[in-house]
Amino acid sequence: MSSAGRPSGACLKCLLVVFAVASALCVSGPALYWRYKKGFATARSLSTSSASSASPSGCAPCVCDCPPPLSLDAIAPGLLNLSVTDCGKNDPELSKEMEKQFVDLLTEELKLQEAVAEEHAHHMNATLVDAKRLASQYQKEADKCIAATEICEEARERAEAALRKEKKMTIVWERRARQQGWRDA
């Protein structure tokens, strides 16, 4: 890739702009010139017609039978059919460079997508680790609650058994007290 063998991109753009301006002037220049000249001729004819009414020595405007200006299609018939995509199509070095740029763009796009995917995967992994940690913590708390509930249940069952035993004892002592003559007041 030697830059001495072909013009640089900026130079090529500059040449294309100059060519476009020159083409536009070639196409529209004659028409503008004749319109400009015709405008002056009309202005002169108006001034001479007003002057001729004052002085009889004025001349009539000239009638020119000029051909119409040439169009771009008449000047260069194939120029209108060119498109920007055809530019450099026959130049193997330019098309190879454009392919490299396209491949570089695709590579950069793939790298960006890979980086986004990695970031998304990292975020998902971090979220999963946090969720597992919280689930483990909640499971430990639930296990503690279950153990405490079991202990409370066992204590309740012992308390009920002790209460039943105490009620039986109370009934026995109340019966003995009644037999001894105790009465409710």
DSSP class per residue in 20-87: HHHHHHHHHHHHHHHHHHHHHHHHHHHHHHHHHHH-TTPPPPP---PPPPPPHHHH-TTGGG--GGGT
| Mean pLDDT along residues 89-105 | 75
CB-neighbour burial class of residue 132 (10 A; exposed 0-12, middle 13-18, buried 19+): exposed
Tokens of residue 53, six digits: 């009414």
User: What does the alpha-carbon distance between residue 51 and residue 105 come to, in Å, rounded to a whole number?
Assistant: 72
Question: Is the separation of the CB atoms in 21 and 27 below 8 Å?
Answer: no
- When pLDDT is averaged across residues 5-15 and rounded to a whole number, the result is 76
pLDDT of 20 over the 80 cut: yes
Non-local (6+) Cβ contacts of 49 within 8 A are 58
106 pLDDT band, cuts 50/70/90, is confident
Domain limits, the chain: 9-82
What does pLDDT average to over the chain? 80
How much is the average pLDDT of 15-19?
A: 89
Whether the predicted pLDDT of 55 surpasses 90: no
In the predicted model, what is the mean pLDDT of residues 160-177? 95
**Is the Cβ–Cβ distance between 58 and 51 less than 8 Å?**
yes
Residues 146-163, mean pLDDT to the nearest whole number: 95
